[in-house]
Each structure stands twice: as structure tokens, then as C-alpha cells.
Amino acid sequence: MDRNKLRELLEQPMAQDLMDRFGMAGKPAEAFDEQTITKLEPVWKLVDATKLPIHVPVYGEYDRKWWKEAVIYQIYPMSFCDSNGDGIGDLPGIISKLDYLKELGVDVVWLSPIYDSPNDDNGYDIRDYQAIHPDYGTMEDFDRLLEETHKRGMKLIMDMVLNHTSDEHRWFQSALHDPDSPYKDFYIWRKGKADGTPPNNWQSFFSEPAWNYYPELDEWALHLFSRKQMDLNWENPKLRDEVVKILNWWLQKGVDGFRLDVINLISKFEGLPDGDPLFGLLGMEQYFYGPRLHEYLKDMNARAFSLYDSYTVGEGCGLGARTTNCISMQSAKELNTVFCFGHFEEPGRNKYEDYAYDLNFLKNYMLPIQQDEDIDCWNTVVFDNHDNPRFLNKVSRDPAECEKIARLIALMEMTLRGTVYLYQGQELGMRDTAFRGPEEFRDVEAINLYKSLIESGKTEEEAFAYVAPGTRDQARTPMQWTAGENAGFTTGTPWLRLADDYELRNAEAETADDASIFSFYRKAIALRHAYKTLVYGHFTAEQPELADFMGYTRRDDDGEFYVEMNLCNHTISRPRSVEGMECLLSNYEDTAADLRPYEAAVYRIR
Ligand code: ISL
Ligand code: CA
């Protein structure tokens, strides 16, 4: 390939995101040797095939919207609060904790899926989009939850899983058993290869081939996740009509928007070609930014989201900072925001690796995003969710350090630009726990991974030691309400074991203690609500080249604020004097001459 072509491709958002992943971030075409160019051949092909419009940034004043100012709290219903002693969290349990969320300062509640489901992937395998899982309660309970949430001035958004349904969904059952089924074409079917192997080499996210064989039809059906989560065929306009109906049905009910599960995966490249190992998970590049993605998103926006004052956040699985912006720019009328998880692990690492995450990486990742003041784009600020071990434990496993780090994260979250997300328990400083054996895993991803490691020759001990730190069960241990039996989560037997530290860390103790992590979050959220400059103000990095230090100002006509953070576990000197500034919140009791380990503070300059 000639250098001019390479230069042109490197300007593409897709190429820039991929270069981040391959450790070539920001390098000009001249920095690539022939060998690297050849090695990255599949990347150039993909970038050429996706041909994203190069976005021209817009500068000026951000539009003010409720969802830009919101602090959104994710509830994992199964683990939040059990009201009837069956060991499973439920809707009445959530209702009983709405005052707690209000006290914290939450604006919007996001519920992970509560629909009817066989729970192969805890509700991310939907059997009926318009019914509540009996474990969680009834539709009347849901209506009451919505009403009680609104009564308190909070909003509620639903998790929508539209890339796949459960294989127990009536559409799939009809496709399988009725030869004339109108729903057959709702899914992705192919004939196998002549030698009896699946139609292509794609692997599912959960350590299995991405195809199920159905002898009754002599065909294979695609599933990018578990073998019970069947991918929907978005090429079919009838499917898209059904999706639009479902979205409108919930909006009509009064919900305030949606979190759209793996929404970037809905369009697949024609012909479903084999995947290239260069991209990690086999097949990934054939669907993580498919050719009709924009078209499908615009359609949902036009026929559903835009008809209401609703908010959408897409989960962008495998997307980086720039491709995320491509589907969340306001002018495109697709989604309001898209999660970008590029900072969850250091480059080249995965969540199962037990390593000490360097906050300098986080800083270097965040600064360009924050400094980009393109008013057509709006980010999310997120550190924790139900799919990852607790962020603070990636940085350190030392309990005392974690006390500081939890507050540093809180302070960073509430002073960056973007819609802020909290995951249940983050506000208490909940941590990972030491699982005792594989029989304690409940997560399909962890169970399958454990099995596949054993099959590949690992011993049980080795497989367990690898999976335990990264299992999604880490984030899903029951919410710690009290120091009492089962942490006040249930009077029965919890569906997943509790973390070990609930006597020490629980909502009852922390809400009563003005110096707790909960109280720190409450104060940080209150600052964000009080000073809109922290939401919309200009962002200027302070001495960004200084290692172990992160500092920035937020400034507009209404005020100016300064944030300073020590990113490491030893003392560093303070690069900018804070004399004359008013300290609004700090994770230390006073201000010293130097910045102590993980010290973080926000000051008001004017
Ligand atoms: O956790 C992950 C990998 O280690 C992710 O790949 C995750 O599976 C991916 O981000 C998609 O997540 C979403 O869709 C899945 C569901 O299992 C997750 O809980 C959900 O957040 C399939 O619906
Ligand atoms: Ca229950």
C-alpha cells in the first residue's frame, strides 16, 4: 500500500481507534514500517470497507439537556434487594430503596433487564419483551415502581436487548417448529459447510462456536453470546417494525429511555465472512461496526426515541473513543450517548488478568476525550458495571489505599464532562471478593470460560485462579445494606454468595457516617448538581505531561474550578499552588504542602 493511501486511512475514526488497540496510537503514516503495514492488512481492509464520514467538529455552547446533567444509577435487580425471602432481588425491593437513591442524589435509575427470561444470561436473554419476570414481580409492581420513581423527581430507563432474544422467545420457537413461520427470517440461519462444520469460524463471546445446529431444519443459527441467545436478523424490515412497536409500548408507559445492549452489533457484513484472528474474538470485525448500523439507529430514532423526551445510551462493545462519537453525534439523530469502555483495562490486558492498573493510563485516555469540545458529541463517564470486576480493585487490592481511590474516582466522575454512571455498590466502595471455588460461579461467561480452560489442558486450580478475579460475579455479589444476616439483602439464601466485607461496608453504617465513601459520593454529586460549570464548562488540563499527577480546570461565565489528583501511592509535589482557592471537597482532612497518596480535591477559584 502506498503512503498516501495509508495517510488517508489513518484519518478515519475507525483506524484511529484500532491503532489505540494495536499500540500505534497517534503515529503518522511515516512511522509504519513495511512489516507492520503488511501485518495490519486486515485492518486497512476493514477501515476501507466501513468508510465512515469524517466528522467535522462543531464549536460553541453545549445545548443544556436533563440527561447531560444526570447522575444515572445502574441497578442489577437480581442483586439489589429481596423483599420476599426467595434470595432474589425484586421490584418491591427496589421500591423500598428509592429514598436511599434519592438521598445519594441519583437523577435516573437504569434497570438491568427485568423481562421474562429463562435467565441463561440473567435476563439478557429475553423471552418476552412485554412481561416482567415473575421472580421480580408483576407488571403492577413495575407500574408502581415507575410512579414512585417519578414521584421523587427521578427518571427510569430500561435495558433493551435487541441484538438477540432467548431461544425460548415465541419468535424463535415458531421459527423452529412451524415450517411456514413468519418468524423464521427474524433470525440468522445458514447451511453448514459440506464437511458438516458451521457456516463460518466465528466464536461467541462466551467461549463457544457462534452457531447452533438444528437437525429438524438441517440449518445453523447464529448466536454471538450464549447458545440460548439467538441473534436477530435486522436485515428483515418486519423485525425492525416489531422492535419499534416494543420501544413505543414502553415509552407510552412512561419510561424515560433505554440502555441498548450491544447495539453496535446489530448489522453484520454481507455473506458473514470468516473472521481474522488479528481482531481478537474471531468474527468481531464482521459486525462490530456493520454497514447498516447507522441506518438502523436512525430508523429507531425517527420512529420511537425522538417522539418522546427520551434518553438513549448504547452499549458499544469493542468500539473506541472515536467510533463511539460517530454513533452518538447529535446531528446524526441516532443515539444520545454511547458507552466507551476503552479505559476499563490497560491496552493488551483483559479483565481476567490480575494486574495493577496504572491511573496514568486512565489520565492519558481521558484527557483527549475531555479536551475535545465538539458540542455535537456528548460522552459518558463510567467506571463500573455488571460485566466487570470493581474498578477500584483494578488499581489496588490494599484496603486502606482503596479508601482513597474510591473517593478519587468519585471526585473525578463528578467533575468530568459527560453523563455520569454509578453502578450499585460503587457508592459504598464495594469490592471484589475471594470466591472459594468454581461451584460459586453463577455467570454463564465465567462457567463457560472455566470449562474451556479445563478442556484446553489447564488444571482445575489454574482455571479457577484465572477466572475468579475477572468473573462478572464479582460485580454481582448482593448489595450490602446492613451488617446483619445476609447483609440485609435477603432473609433467605442469596442466589449468589455475598462478598466477605459487609459487616465493615454497608449502607446502614455509611449513610450514618459523614466521613464514609457514601457520604463522599453524596457530597460530590451535590457539587455537580450545584455547579453546572462542572457539567458544561471548558476543560483545560493542568501540566498534562507530569506523571502521577492529573489536574484540570472547569470554567465558564458562572465560575471556575480546579481539580488536583495524585495518581500513585506515594507523595508527590503539588505542581500548582492552591493558595487562595476554596477547597470544596477532598479525600484528606486538610491541605498539606505536598500531594499525599491518591489525594484528590476540588477547589473553587471564583
Ligand atoms: O463482559 C464482557 C466480556 O468480558 C463483554 O464482552 C460483554 O459480554 C459485552 O460487553 C456485552 O455485554 C452485554 O451483552 C451481553 C450481556 O451478557 C452483558 O451482561 C451485557 O452487558 C449479552 O447480552
Ligand atoms: Ca425476591
Q: 24-28, 378-382, 442-446: which has the minimum mean pLDDT?
A: 24-28
Angle ∠(73,75,80) on CA atoms, nearest 5? 130
Q: What is the mean pLDDT of residues 250-265?
A: 98
Cβ distance 551 to 543 under 8 Å?
A: yes
pLDDT in the model for residue 51:
80
Q: Is 120 in the pocket of ligand 1 (CB under 6 A)?
A: no
Catalytic hit among 120, 121, 219, 315 = 315
pLDDT tens profile 48-99? 998 876 778 899 999 999 999 999 999 999 999 999 999 999 999 999 999 9
Banded pLDDT at 120 (limits 50, 70, 90): very high
The candidate with the shortest Cα–Cα distance to 358, out of 395, 391, 388, is 395
248 is written with which cell numbers? 413505543
Catalytic hit among 116, 256, 261, 387 = 261
570 is written with which cell numbers? 506515594
Q: Residue 224 CA: which ligand is closest?
A: 1
Which atom of ligand 1 lies closest to the CA of 206?
8
**Integer Cα distance of 75 and 84 in angstroms:** 18
Q: Is 261 in the pocket of ligand 1 (CB under 6 A)?
A: yes
Q: Is 351 in the pocket of ligand 1 (CB under 6 A)?
A: yes
**Integer Cα distance of 488 and 533 in angstroms:** 39
575-579 long-range contacts (CB < 8 A, ≥24 apart) are: 575/542, 575/543, 575/546, 575/549, 575/551, 576/542, 576/543, 576/551, 578/603
Instruction: Tell me how crowded residue 11 is: count the other CB atoms within 10 A of its CB.
Output: 11
**Integer Cα distance of 510 and 508 in angstroms:** 6
pLDDT in the model for residue 23:
79
List Cβ neighbours of 263 (8 Å cut-off, separation of 6 or more).
Answer: 162, 163, 297, 314, 315, 316, 335
Assess whether pLDDT exceeds 90 at residue 2.
no
pLDDT in the model for residue 332:
92
b/e code 95-104 from CB counts within 10 Å (16+ = b): bebbebbeeb
Q: 20-29, 65-74, 311-320, 465-474: which has the minimum mean pLDDT?
A: 20-29
pLDDT in the model for residue 50:
87
**Integer Cα distance of 180 and 517 in angstroms:** 59
**Integer Cα distance of 136 and 124 in angstroms:** 14
Residue nearest atom 8 of ligand 1, based on CA coordinates:
205
Strand partners, 562: 553, 603
Assess whether pLDDT exceeds 80 at residue 110.
yes
Number of H helices, E strands in the chain: 21, 22
**Integer Cα distance of 409 and 32 in angstroms:** 37
Q: pTM of the entire structure?
A: 0.97
pLDDT tens profile 13-51? 999 999 988 878 889 999 999 999 999 999 999 999 988
* CA distances for 27 relative to 19, 31, 48, 50, 503, angstroms: 8, 6, 19, 21, 50
Residue 315 annotated to the active site? yes
pLDDT in the model for residue 26:
87
Q: What's the mean per-residue pLDDT of the chain?
A: 97
Strand partners, 157: 110
Banded pLDDT at 347 (limits 50, 70, 90): confident
Assess whether pLDDT exceeds 90 at residue 432.
yes
pLDDT tens profile 510-554? 999 999 999 999 999 999 999 999 999 999 999 999 999 999 999
327 is written with which cell numbers? 454513533
Instruction: Tell me how crowded residue 530 is: count the other CB atoms within 10 A of its CB.
Output: 10
Q: Is 121 in the pocket of ligand 1 (CB under 6 A)?
A: yes
Residue nearest atom 11 of ligand 1, based on CA coordinates:
262
Q: Is 116 in the pocket of ligand 1 (CB under 6 A)?
A: no
Q: What torsion do the CA atoms of 349, 350, 355, 358 make, to the nearest 10 degrees?
A: 60
Separation of 480 CA from ligand 2 center, angstroms? 16
Separation of 341 CA from ligand 1 center, angstroms? 12
Helix (H, G, I), strand (E, B) or coil at 567: coil
Q: What is the mean pLDDT of residues 196-214?
A: 97
